[in-house]
Amino acid sequence: MAWLPCQVGRCYHGSMRKVYLDNNATSPVDPAVVEEMTPYFVEDFGNASSIHTFGQRARAATEEARGRVARVLGTKPGEIVFTSGGTESDNTAVRGVACQLRSRGNHIVTTQVEHPAVLSTCKSLENEGFRVTYLGVDREGRVSLSDLEQAISPETVLISVMHANNEVGSIHPIGQIGEMARSRGIVFHTDAVQSVGKIPFGVDELQIDLLSISSHKLHGPKGVGALYVRSDVPMTPLMLGGSHERRRRAGTENVPGIVGLGKAMQIAQDRMEDFNQRVQALRDRLETGILGTIPDTVVNGGTGRRMPHVSNISFLGLEGEALLIALDFQGIAVSTGAACSSGSLQPSHVLQAMHLERSRIQAAIRFSLSRMSTQEDVDYVLETLPQTVQRMRDTSLERLR
Ligand code: PLP
């Protein structure tokens, strides 16, 4: 990103290079997305359920966006339900299927590394009489298929395993999980908030029944998302009211947001190859540069299949939070884990589930790039970070003396 006047609250300098490497928390909206959304705030502002021309124009735009989302997933538009984001999609999928299938069984299988949107929904279902198995993961953050197989019981009605992890980027063997679920008549949901539009896949090929999407992770607006629901999957709606979204999600559609999501998905699809090559090369340059110049650094979840834009690195001997703040002063935005849990000073539940040592968990920083990241961004981090880490390590040594 370019040199911009610094407007971040903590920065005091009039101008400073700003490098945003926290795209798994949220990403800047693509100007082409904003352009496509704008008419739906002021000119074509109709309610998509209204019969008049204003309403019809809004409906047409909503359906075009639905088609765009469906194309990326390789499915039919009628299987896409628009929601307020990844959290609502996860809640709807897990709760909606569990409650609908309660008479068939009360067991859900998920993993310990899911986003809180899935974990909290599972916890609340436990209070309502469901039994939930939270599968552990290996040191690379991946679930084991044999553990999953063993966990399945005749009462299992739902398996929910995320596609790519938001903190470390590890990719779960979703295709094999889908196959295992389908062959046993179990519904399979995957949270693909961090993978959709970034790596190529189709819902049919991976035998996915439900899939969560969030627009703001792929250069679309915040507060809008989608849930893919295979046409024959039974699901109780979470939101009750009007007959919107084929009675699967009540509430007046967020037309500008939906248009933005559709456009963001289309652009992501068109640029996926570039994303996979260019962004991975930048991530690798960043990672190799850090490991090569800063002693006592280690990548978390770095081997096996992983998202091309994520690097989670522990700077041993430092507190990740302190390093995050020091980098923020230099105009560099990173994260210590998931956006919703950073600030809570709770150790990352994902790194804990990976059985990493406490000192390594506390020292972790997540760098997440996007297609808007540049080589200059990476080089600025590589110039700044070694001195910052050295200064902080020297200071903590002095304190110990
Ligand atoms: N699932 C995953 C894996 C995420 O990373 C996030 C957001 O960080 C969500 C769900 C929630 O999405 P939203 O912010 O759109 O509610």
pLDDT tens readout for residues 166-211: 999 999 999 999 999 999 999 999 999 999 999 999 999 999 999 9
State both tokens at 95: 């709760």
Closest ligand 1 atom number to CA of residue 90: 10
Contact 79, 235 (CB under 8 A): no
Entry field: residues in the chain: 401
Residues in contact with ligand 1 (CB, 6 Å cut-off): 85-87, 90, 115, 117, 162, 166, 191, 193-194, 214, 216, 225, 338-339
Distance 192 CA to ligand 1 centre (A): 9
Q: Cα dihedral angle (145, 146, 151, 156), rounded to 10 degrees? A: 50
Q: What angle do CA 107, 110, 115 make, to 5 degrees?
A: 135
Give CA–CA dist 334/16, Å, rounded.
Answer: 16
CB atoms within 10 A of CB 308: 19
**Which pLDDT belongs to residue 35?**
98
Of 168, 176, 208, which Cα lies nearest the Cα of 192?
208
pLDDT value, residue 344: 56
Q: State the pLDDT at residue 132.
A: 98
Quick one: pLDDT at residue 15?
75
pLDDT of residue 399: 74
Say what the pLDDT of residue 12 is.
44
Q: How far apart are CA 110 and CA 84, in angstroms?
A: 23
Alpha helices in 142-279 (DSSP H): 145-151, 174-183, 244-247, 255-270, 272-274
Task: Tell me the C-alpha distance between 191 and 24, whole Å.
Answer: 14
Question: What is the Cα–Cα distance from 238 to 17, expressed in whole angstroms?
Answer: 44
Name every residue whose Cβ is closer than 8 Å to that of residue 308 and which is 6 or more positions away in sequence: 198, 199, 275, 276, 279, 280, 283
CB under 8 Å to 342, separation ≥6 — which residues?
A: 321, 324, 335, 336
316 burial level (CB within 10 Å; 0-12, 13-18, 19+)? middle
Classify residue 299 by its DSSP letter.
E
Give the DSSP H/E element, type plus range, for residue 383.
helix 375-400
pLDDT recorded at residue 234 = 93
Contact 300, 354 (CB under 8 A): yes
Sequence-distant contacts of 141-145: CB under 8 A, at least 24 apart: 141/113, 141/165, 141/167, 141/168, 141/170, 141/300, 141/301, 141/350, 141/353, 141/354, 142/170, 142/171, 142/172, 142/173, 142/304, 143/111, 143/113, 143/172, 143/173, 143/177, 145/173, 145/176, 145/177, 145/180
Cβ neighbours of residue 195 under 8 Å, at least 6 residues apart? 163, 164, 171, 201, 307
Rounded to the nearest angstrom, the distance between the alpha carbon of 69 and the centre of ligand 1 is: 17
Distance CA 21, CA 27 (A): 9
Q: What is the CA(55)–ligand 1 centre distance, in A?
A: 30
Point out the residues of the chain with pLDDT beneath 70. Answer: 1-14, 337-345, 400
Catalytic annotation present for 340: yes
pLDDT given at position 337: 67
- Can you say how many angstroms the Cα of residue 53 is from the centroid of all Cα atoms in its chain? 37
- Backbone φ, ψ for residue 135 (5° rounding): -70, 140
Best of 193, 196, 224, 312 to mutate for ligand 1, by most ligand atoms within 8 A of CB? 193
C-alpha dist (Å) from residue 225 to 192, 197, 215: 11, 13, 5
Cα(42) to centroid of ligand 1, in Å? 29
The C-alpha atoms of residue 283 and residue 298 are separated, in whole angstroms, by 15
Q: What is the pLDDT of residues 308-361, one digit of tens each?
A: 999 999 999 999 999 999 999 999 999 996 554 545 568 999 999 999 999 999
